[in-house]
Chain A
Amino acid sequence: MHKNYCFSNILGIFIFNEHLKVIKSELFTNNEQYLSSPQTKAALSKQYHAVEPTGKSLDRIHEHFSDVKYDSSFVARNIELTKLHVKESVNEDNMIIQSVSSLMELTTILNMLLKRLREWYGMYNPETERAIEEQETFVHEILSKDRKQLLDRLETSERESMGGEIAKKDVDAILFLAKQIEHLRLFKVRQEGYLEEIMKKFCPNITVLAGSFLGAKLIHQAGSLKQLVGFPSSTVQVLGAEKALFRHMKTGARSPRHGYIAAHPLLASAVSAMHGKIARGLADKILLCAKIDYFKGEFIADKLLKELERKFK
């Protein structure tokens, strides 16, 4: 009784005879055929009374596919399958990570532009620039009132001001920057809303315990929710403080107590002596929330948050 072998790979399904010559082949022309190959293979094996090759015969069959005549099919089939895999890899994590990155960039850009605006506007109206510390109010005020009105409120005048006498087109250029900053701020608010929305949907527990921005930053730093779940809580605690951590490992400098989670209300309001303890407790619970969200478990973050507040407030 002679022996046939059935072998399949990304190129197709092949029946080899006992001399390891191909006697039948079904070449794939699309991903679907490859992905459903187990069924096709079973049918073909049956029809040709073929078995799975093992040992020496398997090695020789592998070598068979080193022939240059298969090269272009290896290229074509692998390109098509990889395209599908890349397509399928796009998921919620990507949306969360892109949107939080965009938010962090917007924050940096806004700070830069605001600094420039104050510097520039200060040439024209230094008293007002100095008097209004809050950024949003500052931008709003200089856009809605002219210099005379603003100085009046400070009980001074344009004559007494140190502000330079500059042309209207110069003032317009400054206020145009202010206008753009206001637009960017609105844009940022929208982005925050969007991030909040997707975080609530895909990571409801993290979002309630840590907030959408902090939670998303942790996912971003970990690379994905899956990777975050794989970290020990001591790593979650210092995510975002990588620089300090490397310094600690290389030079023995003090190890950082916390990274991004420092921005959590529980930590921001705590006395310094408690920071280490709170950071540990918080990282623990955030990790627990991440695990629940990853495995799509039930919602318990509100209870966890209350517990933490009771313990540390």
Chain B
Amino acid sequence: MKPTPVFDVFIDYRKRLFTKNLVKGVQVYGEKLVAEKGTEFREWNVRRSKLAAAIEKGCPNIFLRPGQRVLYLGCSTGTTVSHVSDLVGKNGLVFALDFAPRVMREMVFVAMDRGNIAPILGDANQPATYQDRVSPVDIVYQDVAQRNQVSVFLKNIDMYLKPEGYALLAVKARSIDVTRKPKGIFAEVKAELERTLTIVDFRTLDPLEKDHAFFICKKK
């Protein structure tokens, strides 16, 4: 197991990504567990997690550090959240939000196993509705695949991200407009983000995730 440029993310001899498992022996989505010198690592599947795909595509820093607080919008069943939870560690905290009860049910089970995830059934498009359930965070992460994903992202950053915090966004071009070329859509998203944020990294995720891009931004 060798370190990668990304903090606390590791790579094995077959170039598969791993994070240190926060809860020994517990799998989240059927991923491989590998023990080495007293540490257990969890494989981070680049085809199932857009954050892992961004790292695979060369992103050198995702700005997640131990002890941070993260607001994760569109957590689904917790595949990526579980790795974010590994990265912020036992002194960190992830608020994991999704509006679909069916996926929240799985998310709750994952949260109960891990201890640093606060699951919330809520609509990211209405950040005020969960203001009494979260507190200001160091990182906002969003992957909601909705037409208005950029405005949802900006609203949440405005309300919950601390100054100089980082904001990570996975964009699915098809959910903004199925008929247009992704390139044009990404350029538009970029322009919209740059009005209030500084973009520190941009990657398209092809071929790992078709017509997806990943933005890392910093709050001014």
Chain A interface (Cβ within 8 Å of chain B)?
8-10, 62-63, 65-66, 68, 70-72, 74-75, 77-79, 81-83, 85-86, 89-90, 246, 249-250
Contacts and interface: CB of A to CB of B under 8 A. Distances in A.
A74 B118 contact: yes
Contacts of B179: 249-250
A62 B136 contact: yes
Contacts of A10: 132-133
Chain B, interface SS category: mixed
A76 to B, nearest CB: 8
Given A71-B93, A82-B104, 17 more contacts: A9-B135, A10-B132, A66-B137, A66-B162, A68-B91, A74-B134, A77-B118, A78-B133, A79-B111, A79-B118, A81-B133, A82-B119, A82-B121, A85-B104, A86-B101, A86-B121, A89-B101
B116 A71 contact: yes
- Ordered nearest first, which 4 A-B pairs have the shortest CB separation? A89-B101, A78-B118, A65-B135, A9-B132
B108 A86 contact: yes
Chain A, interface SS category: helix
A81 B130 CA distance: 12
Contact of A75 (B93, B121, B137): B93
Interface string B183-197: 000000000000000
Given A68-B91, A70-B135, A75-B115, A82 B120 contact: yes
Interface string B109-148: 0011001111111000000000111111100000000000
Nearest to A59: B136
Interface of B: 67, 69, 91, 93, 95, 101, 104-105, 107-108, 111-112, 115-121, 131-137, 162, 178-179
A246 B178 CA distance: 8
Contacts of B115: 72, 75
A81 B129 CA distance: 14
A68 B67 contact: yes
10 contacts: A9-B135, A63-B135, A66-B69, A66-B135, A68-B93, A71-B93, A72-B115, A74-B93, A75-B93, A83-B108
A66 B134 CA distance: 9
Given A9-B132, A81-B133, A75 B111 contact: yes
Nearest to B116: A75
Nearest to A68: B91
Nearest to A223: B100
Contact of B136 (A8, A66, A72, A246): A66
A77 B67 CA distance: 20
Nearest to B101: A89
B108 A79 contact: yes
Contacts of B135: 9, 62-63, 65-66, 70, 74
